[in-house]
Amino acid sequence: MNGSYAKPKNAAYGASADAPFVTTSTQEDPYPYQTGFGNRFSTEAVPGVLPQGGRNLPQRNQYDLYTEQLNATSFISTRQTMQHLWFYRIRPAVAHKPLQSLSTKHDMVASFGLHNPYVHFTPFTFEWGPLGQASTSEPTNFWQGIKTIAGHGDPTMKEGLAVHQYAANVSMGNQAFVNHDGDFMIIPVQGRLDIQTELGRMMVRPGELCVIQAGLRFKVVLPDGPAHGYIQEIFGAHYELPELGPIGSNGLALPKDFEIPIASFDIDSSDWEVVLKLAGELYHYSQNHTPFDVVGWHGNYAPYKYEMTKILALSSMKDQLDPSAYCILTAKSKISGVSLSDFCAFTPKWVNSLDSFRPPYYHRTMASEMMGMIYGTYAGSSKTLSPGALTCDNSFVAHGESYQAWKKATSVALEPQFQGEGSLSFMFHMSSHVAVTKFAMERHAQTKPPPESLWDDLQGDFLNHLPEINEKLYRAGRQLIEIPSA
């Protein structure tokens, strides 16, 4: 056969992929995406614009595009932690008018030290309702509608975080926003967010989260009208998938379910404004072209989105697992083995634990816990969490269910139960005290203090069993407990 390949009898050629996998568009989301958390991606809106032949920086790019690199980690970071991007764009990001301070009043806070008069560390329990729709008499876009609720640390120290609510009623128009302080995790509650980034477009729906990293310019359009939701911002660190340990190779959030935009660019020579946040202060500059002109890019510092109901959460046949069993993303602190924040989502699940107390138990923890609701009905008994609302229990502050809920849970017949149908809630589990902002304590329109009588009816039912207990103590030869007089 002269070395040629002969196809065996009864064999047929199959098929080969002609491109990497991308998702297909839907009516709710018109954009395709690459998939895979933390991958190194290569994407080009015009074939051939990415350099070949082992180089990132050719003498001259195809079609005279400019080369630009964005480094999100130091040059000497380990390969495991290195994050950066190479852009091939119509104009480099440096092409703009001089920066100026922006005098617009805002309620974004970045520094949470004891010296800041706009924040206060307090052990009080807080509950805030939805920030709600921005007033129609005051057009408010996405970045204008961000209100900081709580946080700790400082972006200048590359350590800490902030928790915000947002409410907007207009799209951003010819305007982009860039956050130099940290990575945004955005969680819509009402209204989709059509987000255009330098790397491509994402449509983020209620029930999904998206992460836009520090230094990336983006614009938010409101296709469904007024929108509101939550943001967590982390300083210095980046979100990671939690380690699986004994769970094995599959569980929690699967890397393949994270969606990353593909290259997309505009040709636009109209006037644009870019608003920049640095150390909590706002600046801006103008330019005579769109900032969204990246024709191709490659790297691993890319925005992404994730549908939270896809998590493979864990359950137990007895007792309760910790909230980390529902962790989607985590961020490391500077303390070895301690996370900066764990983001946990609570999706519908079967509860079939045997001879176990099923509601959340009475709890104190070194972490601060902030709960939010995306849709559905909150099943807890000591708070009135509704979609868009937010609660805060600071570190070591006791929390738990009402006495009535405890009584029911300790006496009800235990049958398999499907919990949380039609509901989605989440928790920011933050390993530090958090300071609450002056806005959240004094000017938030939906502040809900806990009822003063919430725990008044909680009984020490142990005392009802003292005769029985004394009988056991007597048989054991121990000192009896004096029964208090009525």
**Residues making up the binding site:** 363, 369, 378, 399
Phi/psi for 10 (5° steps) reads 65, 20
Answer yes or no: are the C-beta atoms of 248 and 277 closer than 8 Å.
Answer: no
Residue positions counted in the chain: 486
Give the gyration radius of the chain's Cα atoms.
Answer: 27
Residues at the binding site for homogentisate are 378, 399
Phi/psi for 163 (5° steps) reads -115, 130
Residues at the binding site for Fe cation are 363, 369, 399
Q: State how far the Cα of 348 lies from the Cα of 423, in Å rounded to an integer.
A: 7
Answer yes or no: are the C-beta atoms of 277 and 326 closer than 8 Å.
Answer: no
Q: How far is CA 405 from CA 227, 322, 401, 402, 414, in A?
A: 34, 20, 6, 5, 14
